[in-house]
Amino acid sequence: MKFTPHPYQAEAIRRLERFENYGLFLDMGLGKTVITLTAIQNLIYDSFEVRKVLIVAPRKVAESTWQDEAKKWQHLDLKFSTVLGTARQREAALQKEADCFVINRENVVWLCLYYKFNLPFDMLVIDESSSFKNPGAKRFRALRKCRGCFRRAVILTGTPAPNTLIDLWSQVYLLDGGAALGKTLTGYRDRYFVPDKMNGYIVYRYKLKNDQAEKEIHAAIEPLCMSLKAEDYIRMPKRMDNVIRIQLPKKAKEIYDKMARELVLGAGEPDEITAVSAAALSNKLLQMANGRVYTDEGAVVDIHTAKVEALQEIVEANEGKPILVFYAYKHDLDVLKKRFPESRRLTGVEELRAWNAGKVPMLLAHPASTAYGLNLQAGGHIIVWYGLTWSLELYQQANARLYRQGQEKPVVIHHLVSAGTVDEQVMKALSTKAAGQDALLAAMKATIKALR
């Protein structure tokens, strides 16, 4: 795919190349990944300023997002090594010839210890830097010791201060070593904040001294970062679709493949399959792609938790923003309610009004229950498709609950797609507006031929 950057993307690329330490505080969907990869490629192959890049990201993002994005765009030709798995697998990945080494944030401490805090990378990229907002966390303290190893540093997030401006200090410290906001958290707090909530002599919450303090913080970091909200960028489209490819754990993928083959063997020859039998086969495969499947006796078999973990990361990245989640099966709903106890299922007007009033952090809905007539745009602008549907009509109508007249913010629609499963066939059909019974039947015939 050819990359034609929007003006703000071109400017962001220019700044990443110009400044050794820079932060992109951009909303999800505005292209932080392709912006950063383009700058990295230019720095490596055009100006020769960078040799090896360390990218720290949430685990699911580290698995495939950066790698997939690099393959997506024609102008990118970067080599990746994914530093995940067992200690032996991680060590092997570090020995590979590559431009970018992607590691999950949970393994940052291990990485620093492995290299005895002398990391062999000259550029650091922290994806979702707000996960380093706690200066007492081991991951921050380990990376802080290694900060001097990097000639360049980039931090990426849409929520740099999800709770309070105190959250900025550790992120900005990893960016510039304390030049803008001070070398210590104590000094930063003393300069800009006063105690707010206390228990005896213990302060457990601070507040800004005054409005001037907030202005001074923003002025201090302004040369270091580019901040952009999607709703402020009038040239951006009002809808942004994002496909999140999820790599299933090896054991889960083996179970999926085994069960899929058994189902296919019982489906008959491709030319014999009917719309009814194709729907039944697809139904089972889609359940397994989501993580669980019903047996013929009605029991539930657990296969993986990759999708609910991916949703957890979306929630963390959009801290405080309401999310509308479309599920497909009752066992999906059970998993979602257990993982997100604060969520509410859309059953009637009570939940609808609470959502539109901003009182529901996560609304769980079946697409068939929201197909027509419901106005949900006042409650949020983020959709996550946890379970996909072959019905193009249901898909379009469900998205129209937020993507409709009266919506004041650009709508971001995330699709959780389990790699190597029927999810990919559904997503392809939806993206080309070819979904429906004919597409389902054709896909199931192709699946039978492939697995036989």
261-296 b/e (C-beta count within 10 Å ≥ 16 → b): eebbeebeebeebeeeebeebbbbbbbbbbbbbeee
Q: How many CB atoms lie within 10 A of CB 200?
A: 5
What integer pLDDT is reported at residue 403 of this predicted model?
83
What integer pLDDT is reported at residue 270 of this predicted model?
63
pLDDT tens per residue across all 452 residues of the chain: 899 998 889 999 999 999 999 999 987 667 899 999 999 999 999 999 999 999 999 887 888 889 988 988 999 999 999 999 999 999 999 999 999 999 999 999 999 999 999 999 999 999 989 889 999 999 999 999 999 999 999 999 887 876 789 999 999 999 999 999 999 999 999 999 998 877 778 887 889 999 899 999 999 999 999 987 755 554 445 789 999 999 999 999 999 888 888 877 666 666 666 767 778 888 899 999 999 999 888 899 899 999 999 999 999 999 889 999 999 999 999 999 999 999 999 987 789 889 989 999 999 999 988 755 577 888 999 999 999 999 888 898 898 888 876 688 889 999 999 999 999 999 999 988 877 777 887 877 777 777 66
CA of residue 158 relative to chain centroid, distance: 11
Whose tokens are 């007249």? That residue is: 405
Structural domain boundaries of the chain? 7-230, 239-451
CA dihedral 184, 188, 194, 197 (to 10 degrees): -50
* Cα–Cα distance, 122 to 251 (Å, whole number): 36
Contacts of 267 (CB under 8 A, 6+ apart): 273, 277, 281, 444, 448
Six-digit token pair at 124? 């650091």
Decide: 103 and 83 in contact? Cβ < 8 Å: yes
- Which letter does DSSP use for residue 46 in this model? T
Closest CA to 241 of 404, 412, 1: 412
What integer pLDDT is reported at residue 236 of this predicted model?
46
CATH of domain 7-230: 3.40.50.10810
What integer pLDDT is reported at residue 234 of this predicted model?
44
* Cα–Cα distance, 95 to 414 (Å, whole number): 34
371-424 residue pLDDT tens: 555 778 889 999 999 999 998 888 988 988 888 766 888 899 999 999 999 999
Decide: 425 and 278 in contact? Cβ < 8 Å: no
Six-digit token pair at 135? 């200066």
157-168 residue pLDDT tens: 887 876 789 999
What integer pLDDT is reported at residue 449 of this predicted model?
73
What integer pLDDT is reported at residue 269 of this predicted model?
66
SS3 70: helix
Contacts of 183 (CB under 8 A, 6+ apart): 173, 177
Give domain 239-451's CATH number out of 3.50.50.60, 3.40.50.2300, 3.40.50.300, 3.20.20.150. 3.40.50.300
Amino acid at 57: A
Beta-strand relationship, 300-302 and 323-326: unpaired
Amino acid at 147: R
What integer pLDDT is reported at residue 268 of this predicted model?
63
Decide: 361 and 344 in contact? Cβ < 8 Å: no
